[in-house]
C-alpha cells in the first residue's frame, strides 16, 4: 500500500456498489520484520479511519496478529458504529466472543470442514448463529471433500452443512440466518 493505492481505495468507497472497506488488517505470517509490521499497523489505522469517514463496515484480515488487531480496533473505536466481519476466523472462541461483543460477525469458510480445525469448530459451537457469515476465501481453503482445489461459492453448501451439524440445526436455518446476517452487516437486500 502506498499513497497512490490508498487514494484509489478512497475513490472506490464512493462507488454505489461498495458495501464495505476491506479486506484490510494485519498479516504477520509472512512479514516478521518489526518495521514492516509497524507499517501494516499504520495503514490499518488509516483504512479504519476511511471506513469511519465513509460510514462503511470493514472486512478484517488478521493472521498471526491477534493482539495487535484487537488492540487497534479497541483504540480506534471502530466497533462502535458499523463494525463488519472478522474474515476467515482462526483464533480462539474467547477472542471470537470479544469480537461479537464489539458487534462483529465471524467469517467461517471451508476450514470448518477440516479435521484439525478444533478452535474454529469450538468457535462455531460457542457463538450464536446470528454472528456468523459464510465465506469462501476464494480461491483458497476449499472445504472437504474438495480440499486442495480452487475454492468458489459453489462450495458454501459444505460450509453451511458443517455449521448446521455443529449447531444442531437445519442447513436451511444456517443458510437463512447467515444470509440475513450478511444483509444486515453490509446494508443490502
Q: What would the pLDDT profile of 140-186 be if each residue is shown by its tens digit?
A: 999 999 999 999 999 999 999 999 999 999 999 999 999 999 999 99
Query: What residues make up the domain containing 11?
Result: 1-82
Higher pLDDT, 82 or 25: 25
Mark whether 29 and 106 lie in a shared domain. no
| pLDDT band per the 50, 70, 90 thresholds, residue 14 | very high
Mark whether 68 and 147 lie in a shared domain. no
Mean of the pLDDT values across residues 122-131? 98
Mark whether 126 and 96 lie in a shared domain. yes
Secondary structure of residue 36 in the 3-state scheme: helix
pTM here is 0.94
Mark whether 60 and 114 lie in a shared domain. no
| pLDDT band per the 50, 70, 90 thresholds, residue 1 | confident
Task: Write the CATH number for 97.
Answer: 3.20.20.140
Of 66, 82, 98, which closes a domain?
Answer: 82
Rounded to an integer, what is the distance from CA 183 to the centroid of its chain?
15
Report whether pLDDT(22) > 90: yes
Mean of the pLDDT values across residues 71-86? 85
Mean of the pLDDT values across residues 44-63? 95
Question: What does the pLDDT read at residue 65?
Answer: 97
Cβ-based neighbours of 131, under 8 Å, separated by 6 or more: 100, 104, 105, 106, 181
Higher pLDDT, 1 or 95: 95
Secondary structure of residue 59 in the 3-state scheme: strand
| pLDDT band per the 50, 70, 90 thresholds, residue 78 | low
Mark whether 35 and 110 lie in a shared domain. no
Report whether pLDDT(80) > 90: no
Residue 91 DSSP symbol: S
Mark whether 108 and 167 lie in a shared domain. yes
Which residue's entry shows cell 520484520?
A: 33
Cα separation, 80 vs 50, whole angstroms: 15
Of 14, 47, 82, which closes a domain?
Answer: 82
Q: Are 105 and 133 in contact (CB under 8 A)?
A: yes
Mark whether 66 and 94 lie in a shared domain. no
Rounded CA Rg of the chain: 16
Mean of the pLDDT values across residues 76-99? 89
Cα separation, 180 vs 189, whole angstroms: 9
Of 82, 109, 134, which closes a domain?
Answer: 82
Mark whether 67 and 148 lie in a shared domain. no
Question: What does the pLDDT read at residue 79?
Answer: 65
Report whether pLDDT(8) > 70: yes
Cα separation, 120 vs 100, whole angstroms: 15
Domain tally for the chain?
A: 2
Mark whether 121 and 66 lie in a shared domain. no
Amino acid at each position: 500500500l502506498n499513497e497512490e493505492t490508498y487514494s484509489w481505495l478512497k475513490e472506490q468507497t464512493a462507488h454505489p456498489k461498495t458495501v464495505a472497506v476491506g479486506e484490510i488488517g494485519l498479516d504477520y505470517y509472512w512479514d516478521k520484520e518489526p518495521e514492516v509490521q509497524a507499517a501494516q499497523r499504520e495503514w490499518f489505522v488509516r483504512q479504519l479511519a476511511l471506513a469511519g469517514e465513509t460510514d462503511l463496515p470493514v472486512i478484517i484480515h488478521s493472521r498471526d496478529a491477534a493482539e495487535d488487531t484487537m488492540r487497534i480496533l479497541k483504540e480506534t473505536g471502530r466497533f462502535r458504529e458499523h463494525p463488519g466481519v472478522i474474515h476467515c476466523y482462526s483464533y480462539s472462541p474467547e477472542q471470537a466472543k470479544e469480537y461479537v461483543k464489539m458487534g462483529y460477525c465471524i467469517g467461517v469458510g471451508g476450514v470448518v470442514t477440516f479435521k484439525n480445525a478444533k478452535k474454529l469448530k469450538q468457535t462455531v459451537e460457542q457463538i450464536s448463529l446470528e454472528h456468523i457469515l459464510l465465506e469462501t476465501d476464494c480461491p483458497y481453503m476449499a472445504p472437504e471433500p474438495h480440499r486442495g482445489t480452487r475454492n468458489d461459492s459453489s462450495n458454501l453448501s459444505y460450509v453451511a452443512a458443517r455449521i448446521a451439524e455443529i449447531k444442531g440445526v437445519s442447513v436451511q436455518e444456517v443458510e437463512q440466518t447467515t444470509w440475513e446476517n450478511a444483509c444486515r452487516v453490509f446494508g443490502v437486500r
